[in-house]
Structure 1
Amino acid sequence: MILDQIQKPNDIKNIDPKDYSQLAEEIREFLLEKISVTGGHLASNLGVVELTMALHLAFDLPKDKLIWDVGHQSYTHKLLTGRKEDFDEIRCYGGISGFPNRKESVCDAFNTGHSSTSISAGLGMAHARDLKGEDYSVVSVIGDGALTGGMAYEALNNASRLKSNFIIVLNDNNMSISENIGGVSRMLGNLRTAPQYNDLKANVTQNLSRVPGIGNQLVKRISMAKQGIKQLFIPGMFFENMDITYLGPVDGHDIPMMINVFQEARRLNRAVVVHVMTKKGRGYEPAERHPEAYHGVNPFVVETGKPKKEKREPNYTDVFSKVFCQMAEKDESIVGITAAMPDGVGLKRFHKLYPERFFDVGIAEEHGVTFAAGLAAGGMKPYFCVYSSFLQRAYDQIIHDVCIQNLNVTFAIDRAGLVGSDGETHQGLFDLSFLQTIPGMSILAPKNCFELADALRFSAEFEGPLAIRYPRGTASKKMKSFRAPIVYGKSEILYEEEEIALFAVGTMVETACQVRNQLKARGYNVSLVNARFVKPLDEEMLEYLARGHKVLVTMEENVQSGGFGEHVTAICTKKKLPFHIISVAIPNSYVEHGNVDILKHEIGIDAEGALHTILKELE
């Protein structure tokens, strides 16, 4: 196999050009073989095989810096930098990440995982290079979807002032540009980057400006005429108008053509956008037909494309989807908002049923939150449905645009807590901490699927900002018999004894039930309380528990700093409640990728770890 010849960075440069197509085919076969076993991002990686090869052929890694926006399309990059043997455990605990990671390889220039960051990072790196007098290329690869994020435009605006080389590769796998315009654009792109053209342009401008009386006016009129002609022929005039040179569109599966364009782009002492057209899922028919369905996949059968586990139990997102549609049927003021994740957050069915009340704002969480605030101010009942990790991007808008005005916006926070294989950038570990700090925000954390359904119905009648957080994974049906009506700011006693009280949040209620059984087996008397509301906290319940319990154990799937446990401790200290408080929470660190059960065990928040923490404190 040709792929076997690549053992370290830049080995691809030793491959005969006539074998590039064969290498691309082998890479796709390898990715299918591995991802079908481990799961991961498939369609996006299949689409950028030739693009990645061209980048590695045109540039010299790790001297040159290559930044992948989001980073879920970096698998071929990992292969070409010598990590082929690590793919059996990609996204597994202790294995390599599914995203670029500086700790993993010197060829990973910048950690990514969230969208629309690459241009900002690349621009910063280009300025650092210039300030230090160094000589290397900086290339940021950003997808057309990531350009829906406002941060990308902020960076482009800033990049327009750069007086040194910086290459932005726009990986476009969605937009349709006709062949005729593409051909004219390529011709003009090659002309504009040719040294002769740039020299001629500079000389003509300089000589005309010297003509007495009319020179500067001539230059201005010629420039205006040139811009008008460009508007007719060049699809990249948006970039050109920002003083960023546009090249393309280029066939993202034509390696020699891309190498040529990249070499031309690196000659220019300014920011350059190279527009590359690729096909998402290329080379694997099921992914080509349904690229969205094959964006992130679980283990599957290569021959059919079907998941290896045919039967899937309903997850929390499914429960949200079903109940939310039922609510929307009864209340026409309810609207659903997503930041480019309609399937992931469970709004696909809602979109089909109520298309006029469905809004996909693109990868723009900040805009999504303020847009929801505007809807609420206009009398609607908006639900902003978002992963916990991505809600972090809109912290200012939650405070400034929703909570200060006490607007009726509900945040349906999916993937709260540990999410597993996507790792550090996707774990939902911080939402309790950053939301608790905001005056006027209420936070609900249901313990199982039934309580999630009840929490959503409660939200339909609730006035003001409300966050409902729930985890990724199979929706728990345990503790079904415990279903007291939801009352604002009130917790739920599940078992009442004395001595030790377990005060748990959300998914940790089920863990607390297991811990309670093991403590009782050791002779302890243990109460169990489902907190339900993280904010406002049920202070009356704490006072009640203080009468008969010496030890209070808080349990949460959130970082300890600023979390539920610290909030409880502060209240107990203020009220001088005589508890010995034990906190079971995620340590104040970033949690790597891996199976959720393994991660919980490693960081000590599974039943075994929680029991160990409690017994150690009791001793």
Structure 2
Amino acid sequence: MYLEKINSPEDVKKLSIDEMKDLSTEIREVLLKKLSEHGGHIGPNLGIVELTIALHYVFNSPKDKIVYDVSHQSYIHKMLTGRKEAFINSEKYDEVSGYSNPEESEHDFFNIGHTSTSISLACGLAKARDVKDETDNVIAIIGDGSLSGGEAYEGLNNAAETGTNMIIIVNDNDMSIAENHGGLYKNLKELRDTEGKSECNFFKAMGLDYHYVKDGHDLEQLIGVFNKVKDTKQPVVVHIHTVKGKGFKFAEKNKEQWHWGMPFVLETGASKVSMGSAENYGNLTGEYLLDYMKRDPKVVAITSGTPAVFGFWKERRNEAGRQFVDVGIAEEHAVALASGIAANGGNPVYGVYSTFLQRTYDQLSQDLCINNNPAVLLVFAASVYGMNDVTHLGLYDIGMMSNIPNMVYLAPTCKEEYFAMLKWAMIQKDHPVAIRVPAMGVIESGVVDNTDYSKLNKYEVTKAGKDVAVIALGDFYQLGQSVTEKLSQENGINATLINPKYITGIDEELLEGLKKEHKLVITLEDGILDGGFGEKIARYYGASDMKVLNYGIKKELLDRYVPDELMKKNRLTDVQIVEDIMNIIK
């Protein structure tokens, strides 16, 4: 087995072409075994095997610096740079992350998990190299739709005028997560169809040298072109045509489904994780919006490269037709697009993961909220129980969004509230409205939500009591229920329970009324405490005798944490909260 003998890129350089071909086969087998048992990014890594081997055969990492865009396709790079045991040995599967990580290896230069960043980061490495009068190669690898992001254009624009060594590898598999969208990809297709010879060439138009590789799985072609551009004195694009999911028939046939996946059966492709018949908010939202579209032709559903987040599988996208827009991986544009649609009488709904919405602060503030346009944003995986890689945390949305004037940010606790909020948000014309989609499963209260959401910042007292008031936001409402029940059953305290519903404002009338029979207010929020919801409540009571305890997550960068352990660490269990309450009451 060749892979077992690869401890660094130097070992790759000792192989013949035939041996590297055998290594490619071994790597795919190892990849599929781990992915079938552990899950992860499947298609992106299967499609870049030969490209990565050729890179390490020709270039001299880490002296030559390789930057992977998103870095979800860096598994093979990790195997060849001393981390193969994390792929071969099941007991060590979790010893490496799913993204590049400088703490793991000198061959990685950045923690990266969002798209369109590699060229800009590589430009920075190249500039530092130049001012130090060094001569190494700097290589940015970009693909899987990342060229559609604005930062990629900015990086290309800067790279084009550097007049120095800068190698940009465009891994063109004609896919993002779903299909690619945008005018640039029409030119990439034209370049593929003409084997790089079309006179219309986006990269040459920017002033970049250009090379095309027809078969990105042919090691001879790859090594040949890499040797040509190695030590170049000019910025250059190497455009390589690859097949996403290469070597695994299920991933080649259904590229969108196999971009990322949970553990699966190798022989059949069937998931090992039973989803049962449980409802999920993504599917329910897509179903709701598609039905709404049939009644209102002005509704436009928007995604930035992740259509499945709100249930727009390919069949639904086709059915929605022009009322569905995938802008590619361009979240900033998506927010501004939604504002423009709303400004001209349309009814936009943008579905997005919380972690990717972090890129849009300026557009939320400037393009949307200053103009007070009634766009609807559905924020998914904004929770301790969402994604947990350090590059994909969804915990920062409350502090980011709830402090922008004109924004109305809502936090439903159940299915009934979610759809009541969504219905109101799509009808009203007074505000931009965001909804923090519940992330802990679909919970039905069995109670119709008749709230008039146009009366902003009115909290709901769901259980009246005294002495202690628990204000439990969104997904943590059920935790609030457990706390009040425990206080009653174990300590004889009849606490008040409040569902605030609104993240962006406080109910001063209700908070003032609590002063009469309450000594302590507890806030629970599924996000970072600093700048969060609870601090608004604490600030309101600052000059009074009311004691306030804020519960949420300590501000820190977390990586691959276990949610229940994080909850305990932040004293977010009903036992710990009740213990804190009793210590204060006593």
- State whether TM-score is above 0.5: yes
Aligned to 2:310: 345
Q: Distance in 2 between matches of 1:128 and 1:618?
A: 58
Q: Paired residue for 1:300, among 264, 271, 274?
A: 264
Q: Match for 2:308: what amino acid?
A: D
CA distance 1:418–1:572, shift in 2 (3 Å): same
Alignment of 1:561-572 (within 5 A): 561-572=530-541
Output the aligned Cα RMSD: 2.4
Corresponding residue of 1:3: 3
2:474 alignment partner in structure 1: 506
Matched, 1:326 2:295: no
User: CA distance change for structure 1 residues 568 and 482 in 2, over 3 Å: closer, same or farther?
Assistant: farther
- Deviation of 1:144 after TM superposition, in Å, equals 5.3
* Whole-Å separation in 1 of the counterparts to 2:533 and 2:552: 9
Q: Distance in 2 between matches of 1:91 and 1:346?
A: 35
Conservation of the 8 A alpha-carbon contact between 1:144 and 1:171: yes
Whether the aligned pair in 1 keeps the contact of 2:399 and 2:528 (CA below 8 Å) is yes
* Matching of residue 181 in structure 1 with residue 194 in structure 2: yes
Change (3 A) 1:78 1:461: same
Alignment check: 8 A CA contact 2:370 2:406 kept: yes
Cα distance, 1:170 vs structure 2: 0.2
1:357-436 pair list within 5 angstroms: 357-418=323-384, 420=386, 423-436=389-402
Residue 335 of structure 1, CA deviation:
1.2
Shift of 1:400: 1.3
Alpha-carbon contact 2:299-2:349 (below 8 Å) kept: yes
Moved more, 68-77 or 604-613: 604-613
Q: Is 2:192–2:214's contact at 8 Å kept on the other side of the alignment?
A: no
- Larger CA Rg, structure 1 vs 2: 1
Change (3 A) 1:180 1:343: closer
Distance 1:157 1:512, change over 3 A: same
Q: Which amino acid aligns with 1:593?
A: R
Q: How far off its partner does 1:292 sit?
A: 0.5
Retained in 2: the 8 A contact 1:337–1:359?
yes
Aligned 8 A contact 1:144 1:170 in 2: no
Residue 288 of structure 1, CA deviation: 0.4
Go from structure 1 to structure 2 and tell me whether the alpha carbon gap of 1:40 and 1:598 turns closer, same or farther (over 3 Å shift).
Answer: farther
Unaligned segments of structure 2, at least 5 residues: 175-187
Change over 3 Å in CA distance of 1:164–1:608 after alignment to 2:
farther
Identity %: 37
CA contact (8 A) 2:293 2:323 kept: no
Distance 2:569 2:478 in 1: 18
1:119–1:140: 8 Å Cα contact kept in structure 2?
Answer: yes
Q: Partner amino acid for 1:563?
A: G
Q: Using a 3 Å threshold, how does the CA distance of structure 1 residues 65 and 471 change in structure 2: closer, same or farther?
A: farther
Q: Distance in 2 between matches of 1:177 and 1:380?
A: 34
Displacement of 1:134 in angstroms is 2.2
**2: CA distance between counterparts of 1:15 and 1:470?**
51
Task: For 1:165 and 1:92, locate their aligned partners in 2 and report how far apart those are by CA, in whole Å.
Answer: 37
Q: Counterpart in 1 of 2:178? A: none
Match of 2:451 among 485, 497, 510: 485
- Which one-letter code corresponds to 2:223 in the other structure? I
Deviation at 1:236, TM superposition (A): 6.9
What SS does the corresponding residue of 1:535 show, helix, strand or coil? coil
Matched residue, 1:142: 142
Mean CA deviation greater in 89-98 or 577-586: 89-98
Query: What displacement does 1:598 show?
Result: 4.2
| Contact 2:148–2:330 (8 Å) recurs in 1 | yes
2:222 corresponds in structure 1 to: 258
Query: Which AA in structure 2 matches 1:352?
Result: N
TM-superposed deviation, 1:21: 1.5
TM-score, structure 2 normalization: 0.91
Instruction: State the Cα deviation string for residues 89-134 of structure 1 (Å, max 9, x = none).
Output: 9999974211111222221111211110000000011000111222
Other-structure match for 2:517: 548
Contact 2:113 / 2:391 at 8 angstroms: preserved in 1? yes
Aligned match of 1:217: none
Q: CA deviation at 1:287?
A: 0.4
Partner in structure 2 of residue 286 of structure 1: 250
SS of the aligned residue for 2:325 comes to: strand
Q: CA deviation at 1:516?
A: 2.5
1:467 maps to 2:429: no
Whether the 8 Å contact between 1:138 and 1:167 is mirrored in structure 2 is: yes
Q: What corresponds to 2:46 in structure 1? A: 46
Mapped partners of 2:233, 2:584: distance in 1 = 63
Letter in 1 for 2:555: N
Paired residue type of 2:437: Y
The offset of 1:585, in angstroms, is 0.9
1: CA distance, partners of 2:199 / 2:440: 43
Is 1:539 paired with 2:508?
yes
How far residue 179 of structure 1 moved from its aligned partner, in angstroms, is 7.7
Closer, same or farther: CA 483–378 of 1 in aligned 2, 3 Å: closer
Report whether the alignment pairs 1:122 with 2:89.
no
Displacement of 1:333: 2.1
Q: Deviations over 1:476-518 (max 9, x none)?
A: 33x4448453533222222221121111111111122222233
Give the gaps of 5 or more residues in structure 1. 186-232
Give yes or no for the alignment of 1:592 onto 2:556.
Answer: no
What amino acid is the match of 1:341? Answer: T
Indicate which of 295, 301, 325 corresponds to 1:336.
301
User: What letter matches 2:247 in structure 1?
Assistant: G
Contact 2:387 2:393 (8 Å CA) reproduced: no
Corresponding residue for residue 61 of structure 2: 61
The residue type equivalent to 1:277 in the other structure is H
**C-alpha offsets along residues 371-391 of structure 1, whole Å, 9 cap, x if unaligned?**
111111111111111111111
How many residues are treated as equivalent by the alignment?
Answer: 567
How far did residue 525 of structure 1 move? 3.0
Change in CA separation of 1:179 and 1:486 when aligned onto 2, cut-off 3 Å: closer
Cα pair distance change 1:23/1:613, threshold 3 Å:
farther
**1:505-560 deviations in whole A, cap 9, x for unaligned?**
11111122222233334303322111111123222221222222111111111111
The amino acid of 1:546's aligned partner reads K
- Indicate if the aligned counterparts of 2:40 and 2:98 stay in contact, CA closer than 8 A: yes
- Of stretches 300-309 and 81-90 in structure 1, the one that deviates more from structure 2 is 81-90
User: Which residue type is aligned with residue 324 of structure 1?
Assistant: L
Kept in 1: contact 2:9–2:81 (CA 8 A): yes
| Equivalence for 1:78 | 78
User: Aligned partners of 2:92, 2:467: CA distance in 1, in Å?
Assistant: 41
Q: State the one-letter code of the partner of 1:416.
A: A
Q: Hey, what's the Cα distance between the residues in 1 that align with 2:161 and 2:155?
A: 11
Equivalent residue of 1:153, what SS?
Answer: helix
State the distance in 2 between where 1:587 and 1:277 align.
45
Q: Which moved more, 1:430-439 or 1:89-98?
A: 89-98
Post-superposition offset of 1:472: 3.8
**Partner Cα separation in structure 2 for residue 91 and residue 434 of structure 1:** 39
The aligned counterpart of 2:180 is: none
Q: Which residue of 2 aligns with 1:172?
A: 172
- Distance (whole Å) between structure 2 residues aligned to residue 333 and residue 595 of structure 1: 42
Q: Where does residue 35 of structure 2 map in the other structure?
A: 35
Secondary structure in structure 1 of the residue aligned to 2:46: helix
Q: Which amino acid aligns with 1:519?
A: L
Deviations 1:63-107 (A, max 9, x none): 221111011111111111122222489999974211111222221
Q: Does 1 or 2 have the higher relative contact order (CA < 8 Å, sep 6+)? A: 1
